[in-house]
Structure 1
Amino acid sequence: MDRIEIDQSKCIQCGDCVNACMAENPVKHALTTVVRDRFEAVAQKQEIVDPTPVQTLLAMGQAERKAFWHDHFRRCIKCYGCVDICPVQMPGTHGSLEIEKWVPRGEVPPVHPLFHLIRAFQIWDTCVLCGDCEQTCPAGIPLKTLQDVVRFFSPEEVFDLVPGLPEDAQGAIIDYVNSLRADQAG
Structure 2
Amino acid sequence: MATKANKRIGYARVSSTDQSLELQLDALAKAECDHIFSDDGISAIARSRPGFENALRHLEQGDTLVLWKMDRAFRSLRHALDVFEDFEERGIEFLVLTEGIDTTTPMGKCFFQIRNSFAELERSLISERTKAGLEAARLRGKRLGRPPSLSAQQIVEIKARCLAGESMAMIADRCRLSTRTLYRAISKS
TM-score interval, normalised by the smaller of the two chains: under 0.3
* TM-score, length-scaled by structure 2: 0.28
* TM-score, length-scaled by structure 1: 0.28
Query: Which of the pair has more CA radius of gyration?
Result: 2
Q: Which has the higher contact order (CA 8 A, sep 6+)?
A: 1
Decide which structure has greater strand share.
Answer: 2
